[in-house]
Structure 1
């Protein structure tokens, strides 16, 4: 009997592709073949940046159904992928199955946001696995949309009807209705589209054979109590077995030279700054952040994607002034940076991958969320786990001022309780990932199901 063959379908953005790759490495360790399906554009980016892949992992591509100019229109990619991807996946499964019996797909692991793929699996008689790369709290929010409407918190289009904060369970994030994931997209058409997708996906998500999540029971006990059908198998970064310098689904080349720079810094001294793959910093934000880092007068490592900033006044002068203690790079091996003993804290947009990596490394955070579920994750960090602080915007202009950044850095690093709680949480996370731990047991059961 040949190895099981799993088709894996991430949503085509960086924050969703990376954890799917991490899961693929986990499966490869157990002799399970995977084929990861990406849109053509993502596929080519991965081929350009991927330095090592397990022999059991294959990459293929399908069209996203868009003309080149349409990809710049807000919401077009989301709408097209949800509509086109299930059709292309069904065609691909038939094509693969026609090649040989050994290549036949055993099951599909798909991003939970692509709920229509569950219906494809059902029609074709193969196993379906919904994979949530975000916090379980995000899906609990989605499951509770009907109740939020019934209780008059939102209308049937997802618009807030009150500013009263919502907390579904004692250990879950405290959310203002204006912070609900769809509302934080800011553009009305995008809000409506995401709200519709989340509502539509509830039924197929609960109909999947498995609903797995890149999270940990001890991080979200309230969420997993409210939705026990969601099984935590994370953090995948702690349970995978990928090569040390493999790309792991990154869209850009990781600059490992920064680790040598970190080696030369004192322990717990470096401020690590990174805002993920999607955030575009405005000129005023860049200026205040740069001034804040300068005021802090500490070593810092700042990830600045070339396309991620809309220019900045006096940028070259800033680089000259901080040349002795600041390092600017294009893309970091983030997990390695956060695990490094020189890293003191993380200024982050609070994407779930970044949040999970920071918690798993015992590194306290300064939170600067921009959109979507980042505000949910910020509440976990600041309100529930108490391992970080919010960076508050100036009410007059919506900018986080340099003085606020400097003040919060001093407060975070001056109070050892933040790192103490972060290290305590790190211990719980790793305990869950090790043999006998809750996530490890769930992952083992899942893998055994695939093999059978």
Structure 2
């Protein structure tokens, strides 16, 4: 099955994204109120992984452009954002103390726990300096950190600063993560093979195989990590969600029973700005010109995100499944996607020549633009939340190949609750791949998926407009921050 890994990505090639000023919304208050907000500073602290950096910087831009707050970003040296793309923000770098080995580990839980230890003192020193006047004349209203930075609650408490948590995934997956320690206490975990298809009564509609377990060298680490994250989120001043009420309504109702703190579903973040991105990898724009030449709703877009990997056999099965479908495809093959290779070496001999232009392979694509393109008919995805949400926003059905963590939960909801996706349940095999593609692109089943996802897309469009759920939630968030 798919594996996951993550490595040090350089940010020098990050596309220019928010450099063009976006007019502040007039209906957020009169000029005097905006001036007041400009005197309030927010300090944001993203986790240094692609799927976490993107939404945090998007949130920063929303709060800057839509509300007029001043923004300071504290970030680690590892995977540091390119500050030149955000001239309206202040940036403060802190040492993370990671060795080359620690920075390239595949054990993401051990990595997150290590960061929480190594960054504690440098972060506290940096934040204390900002509060002491080192950040300019603006008054710091609050701290906004990724939920994974659980150590920051103690720092915020010691400095008497409110801390709001950003959860970069959705409410459904957070509820699942929060339930894992309870399932361990009940003896339901670690799971046995016979449990895989059994429903999890505590977190419907999940089955045990959907529980977002993340492999780590010490299984007890996951339990400790989740307990710390949940505990420190529960005592925070509130949670911001990159989701919208209509998508997560039932899960939000369940969440509020366990987390009776203010919740602000203000997403989708990326829809506040046109084609915004804070990608750590250079985007290949030739994919867009290639899409222009393809028929409507015909293209299979394939991307497994920034940290998922495959073995050589899986890679070749994917290649043959795409080729045998006889349909055009755009395939993102990130360098290092196949362990031990540079890029396309594992492709079958003469594979590209055989396609005769029907396939396009790139190292990284401008995903939001790709999904919005009229020629794209299906997104074969790992179901990271950013990718899943972007697909929903553009009305593109999905073929789901989750790997770990919240991807498993997202895939279950896409396929069985929202019902606009197919999950590849078995091993990666060319015949199953071909059948799944044809079902979604060519058959009536896929058309019904497209109709269902378009209904949700319309709800998303409405939620961002004046009076919509995310619009109102953002208003509430701004007023809440101003009350500190």
Query: What's the TM-score, normalizing by structure 2?
Result: 0.83
Distance 2:434 2:39 in 1: 54
The residue number in structure 2 matching 1:396 is: none
The residue number in structure 1 matching 2:337 is: 308
Residue 145 to residue 354, structure 1, CA distance change in 2 (3 Å): same
Q: CA deviation at 1:150?
A: 5.2
Aligned counterpart for 2:92 among listed residues 39, 60, 85:
60
Distance 2:288 2:385 in 1: 23
Aligned counterpart for 2:454 among listed residues 416, 423, 428:
423
Distance 1:431 1:86 in 2: 41
The residue number in structure 2 matching 1:284 is: 313
Does the 8 Å CA contact 2:328/2:358 hold for their aligned counterparts? yes
The answer to whether structure 1 residue 137 and structure 2 residue 137 are counterparts is: no
The residue number in structure 2 matching 1:126 is: 161
Residue 237 to residue 201, structure 1, CA distance change in 2 (3 Å): same
Aligned counterpart for 1:232 among listed residues 240, 243, 265:
265
Q: Pick which of 373-382 and 105-114 moved more.
A: 105-114
Does the 8 Å CA contact 1:360/1:426 hold for their aligned counterparts? yes
Does the 8 Å CA contact 1:174/1:383 hold for their aligned counterparts? no
For residues 219-266 of structure 1, the C-alpha deviation after alignment (integer angstroms, 9 at most, x for no partner) is 22221010124431111112x23x64x5x3211112223212212211
Does the 8 Å CA contact 1:64/1:80 hold for their aligned counterparts? no
The answer to whether structure 1 residue 405 and structure 2 residue 441 are counterparts is: no
Residue 281 to residue 323, structure 1, CA distance change in 2 (3 Å): farther
Q: CA deviation at 1:151?
A: 4.3
Residue 434 to residue 173, structure 1, CA distance change in 2 (3 Å): farther
The answer to whether structure 1 residue 385 and structure 2 residue 418 are counterparts is: yes
Distance 2:323 2:59 in 1: 39
Q: Any residues of structure 2 matched to 1:335-354 within 5 Å, and which? A: 335-354=368-387
The answer to whether structure 1 residue 38 and structure 2 residue 75 are counterparts is: yes
The residue number in structure 1 matching 2:3 is: none
Q: CA deviation at 1:340?
A: 1.0
The residue number in structure 1 matching 2:140 is: 105
The answer to whether structure 1 residue 222 and structure 2 residue 250 are counterparts is: yes
The residue number in structure 1 matching 2:183 is: 148
Partner of 2:239, secondary structure, is: strand
Q: CA deviation at 1:385?
A: 0.4
For residues 385-428 of structure 1, the C-alpha deviation after alignment (integer angstroms, 9 at most, x for no partner) is 000001132xxxxx311110010111112121010111111111
Q: CA deviation at 1:69?
A: 2.3
Distance 1:4 1:15 in 2: 28
For residues 305-326 of structure 1, the C-alpha deviation after alignment (integer angstroms, 9 at most, x for no partner) is 1121234544451112124111
Does the 8 Å CA contact 2:70/2:138 hold for their aligned counterparts? no
Aligned counterpart for 2:303 among listed residues 274, 287, 301:
274
Does the 8 Å CA contact 1:96/1:104 hold for their aligned counterparts? no
The answer to whether structure 1 residue 296 and structure 2 residue 325 are counterparts is: yes
The answer to whether structure 1 residue 365 and structure 2 residue 380 are counterparts is: no
Distance 2:362 2:314 in 1: 18
Partner of 1:60, secondary structure, is: strand
Residue 318 to residue 297, structure 1, CA distance change in 2 (3 Å): same
Gaps of 5+ in 1: 394-398
Aligned counterpart for 1:85 among listed residues 115, 119, 123:
119
Distance 2:311 2:462 in 1: 40
Distance 1:187 1:179 in 2: 17
Aligned counterpart for 1:175 among listed residues 188, 203, 207:
207
Distance 1:254 1:309 in 2: 19
Gaps of 5+ in 2: 1-35
Does the 8 Å CA contact 2:110/2:221 hold for their aligned counterparts? no
The residue number in structure 1 matching 2:61 is: 25
Q: CA deviation at 1:103?
A: 4.3
Does the 8 Å CA contact 2:321/2:430 hold for their aligned counterparts? yes
The residue number in structure 1 matching 2:239 is: 211
For residues 34-90 of structure 1, the C-alpha deviation after alignment (integer angstroms, 9 at most, x for no partner) is 2222221211xx32xx7733x332333222222222223434421221112332221
Q: CA deviation at 1:333?
A: 1.1
Residue 110 to residue 100, structure 1, CA distance change in 2 (3 Å): closer
Partner of 2:282, secondary structure, is: coil
The answer to whether structure 1 residue 326 and structure 2 residue 363 are counterparts is: no
Does the 8 Å CA contact 2:302/2:330 hold for their aligned counterparts? yes
